[in-house]
Amino acid sequence: MSSWQRSPRRHENTPRRSSSPPLRSSVEQRRRDPVSTRDDDLRRIESEVGSLIRRVKRVMGERARDVHPDLHPMTYVILTHLATNGPMRGADLSDAFGMDKGGVSRQVQALVDLGLVERQPDPEDRRAILLDATDEGRKRLEVMGRHRSDRFDERLAAWSDAELAGFADKLAAYNTALSDD
């Protein structure tokens, strides 16, 4: 039933809100109206993902500043990628992040200026340059990572191992389902 009903006594185009239905358990709601409940659940997931994205953006800024006060969040992500995946060319970074080469070049230069990334000749092609995190860059990421893991563990301390594993599985399935978006 629509939440808007037309009254025969009112003007034909004037909507009137119906009274709210009594609260029902989610199982009962699903039995009666599985489509709207699914739609509600999908909207709720979308809303929660939006909240997660906003939180991730904020946290990325905090992590970047924890590594170095002058580090931009995107630059932090590039540093993390280099530290995790080893030396690579700038073009590979561009592909990994879907950024133009000029944007990557500016981000890398900022990391080089801070002493967190270094350029080195490619041993397979001396004309090419490889980018890699410096020992200092790796050290700062490691310190920040330990602090982040401890804080994350504190916030989820009330979750059982089964709840953590279940959430990790559902999140992985969600990311897989939306991997083409």
Tens digit of pLDDT at every position of the chain (181 positions): 444 444 444 444 444 444 445 545 555 655 666 667 999 999 999 999 999 999 999 999 999 999 999 999 999 999 999 999 989 999 999 999 999 999 999 999 999 999 999 999 999 988 899 999 999 999 999 999 999 999 989 999 999 999 999 999 999 999 999 987 6
Helical ranges in 1-33 per DSSP H: 26-32
The domain defined by 55-156 folds into: Arc Repressor Mutant, subunit A (1.10.10)
* Alpha-carbon distances of 152 from 34, 146, 158, rounded to whole Å: 36, 10, 12
For the chain, how big is the Rg over CA atoms in Å? 25
What tokens were used for 105?
A: 């070049």
**How far apart (Å, rounded) are the C-alpha atoms in residues 93 and 101?**
8
